[in-house]
Structure 1
Amino acid sequence: MLVDKFDRTVDYLRVSVTERCNFRCQYCMPEKPFSWVPKEKLLSFEELFAFIKVAIDEGVKKIRITGGEPLLREDLDVFIKMIHDYKPDVDLAMTTNAFLLKGAAQRLYDAGLRRLNVSVDSLKPEVAEKIAQKDVLGPVLAGIEEALKVGLKVKVNMVPMKGVNDGEVLDILEYCKERGMVVRFIEYMENVHAHDEVKGLDSEELLSIIGSRYSYEDEGFDGHSPSHYYKLGDGYEFGIIEPHKDDFCKKCNRIRLTAEGQLIPCLYFDEAMSIKDAVKRGDIKMAALILKEVVKNKPEKNRWSDPDGEHSKRAFYETGG
Structure 2
Amino acid sequence: MLIDSYDRVVDYLRISVTERCNFRCQYCMPEKPFSWVPKENLLSFEELFLFVKVAIDEGIKKIRITGGEPLLREDLDKFIKMIYDYDPTIDLAMTSNAYLLKSTAQRLRDAGLKRINVSIDSLKPEVAQKIAQKDVLADVLAGVEEARAVGLKVKVNMVPMKNMNADEIVDVLEYCKERDMTIRFIEYMENQYASKEISGLKSDELLAILREHYEFEDEGFDGASPSRYYRMKDGYRFGIIEPYGDDFCKQCNRIRLTAEGNLIPCLYFDEAMSISKSIKEGDIAAAAEVLRDVVKNKPEKNRWGGEDSESSSRAFYETGG
Confirm or deny a common fold (TM above 0.5). yes
Specify the alignment match of 1:77 in structure 2.
Answer: 77
Instruction: Quote the Cα distance in structure 2 between the aligned partners of 1:230 and 1:173.
Output: 13
Is contact 2:26-2:131 (8 Å) kept?
yes
Query: Number of matched residues?
Result: 321
1:111-142 CA-to-partner distances (Å, cap 9, x unmatched) read 00010000000000000000000000000000
Deviation of the 1:32 alpha carbon: 0.1
Is contact 2:227-2:242 (8 Å) kept?
yes
Letter of the aligned partner of 2:64 in structure 1?
R
SS of alignment partner, residue 144 of structure 2: helix
1:151-206 CA-to-partner distances (Å, cap 9, x unmatched) read 00000000000000000000000000000000000000000000001010011111
Moved more, 306-315 or 244-253: 306-315
SS of alignment partner, residue 157 of structure 2: strand
Q: TM-score, normalised by structure 2?
A: 0.99
Instruction: Quote the Cα distance in structure 2 between the aligned partners of 1:128 and 1:307.
Output: 35
Instruction: Quote the Cα distance in structure 2 between the aligned partners of 1:165 and 1:239.
Output: 18
SS of alignment partner, residue 249 of structure 1: coil
Q: Are 1:25 and 2:41 an aligned pair?
A: no
Instruction: Quote the Cα distance in structure 1 between the aligned partners of 2:30 and 2:220.
Output: 34
Q: Are 1:141 and 2:141 an aligned pair?
A: yes
Specify the alignment match of 2:265 in structure 1.
Answer: 265
1:76-133 CA-to-partner distances (Å, cap 9, x unmatched) read 0000000000000000000000000000000000000010000000000000000000
Instruction: Quote the Cα distance in structure 2 between the aligned partners of 1:260 and 1:309.
Output: 28
Specify the alignment match of 1:109 in structure 2.
Answer: 109
Deviation of the 1:246 alpha carbon: 1.7
Specify the alignment match of 1:205 in structure 2.
Answer: 205
Q: TM-score, normalised by structure 1?
A: 0.99
Instruction: Quote the Cα distance in structure 2 between the aligned partners of 1:74 and 1:57.
Output: 27
Deviation of the 1:21 alpha carbon: 0.1
Instruction: Quote the Cα distance in structure 1 between the aligned partners of 2:196 and 2:309.
Output: 18
Instruction: Quote the Cα distance in structure 1 between the aligned partners of 2:110 and 2:308.
Output: 48
Instruction: Quote the Cα distance in structure 2 between the aligned partners of 1:312 and 1:256.
Output: 16
Instruction: Quote the Cα distance in structure 2 between the aligned partners of 1:312 and 1:168.
Output: 28
Instruction: Quote the Cα distance in structure 1 between the aligned partners of 2:241 and 2:313.
Output: 21
Specify the alignment match of 1:13 in structure 2.
Answer: 13
SS of alignment partner, residue 248 of structure 1: coil
Specify the alignment match of 1:241 in structure 2.
Answer: 241
Q: Identity rate of aligned residues, in percent?
A: 75
Is contact 2:116-2:152 (8 Å) kept?
yes
Letter of the aligned partner of 1:40 in structure 2?
E
Specify the alignment match of 1:122 in structure 2.
Answer: 122
CA RMSD of aligned residues (A): 0.6
Deviation of the 1:313 alpha carbon: 1.4
Is contact 2:68-2:317 (8 Å) kept?
yes
Instruction: Quote the Cα distance in structure 2 between the aligned partners of 1:65 and 1:277.
Output: 22
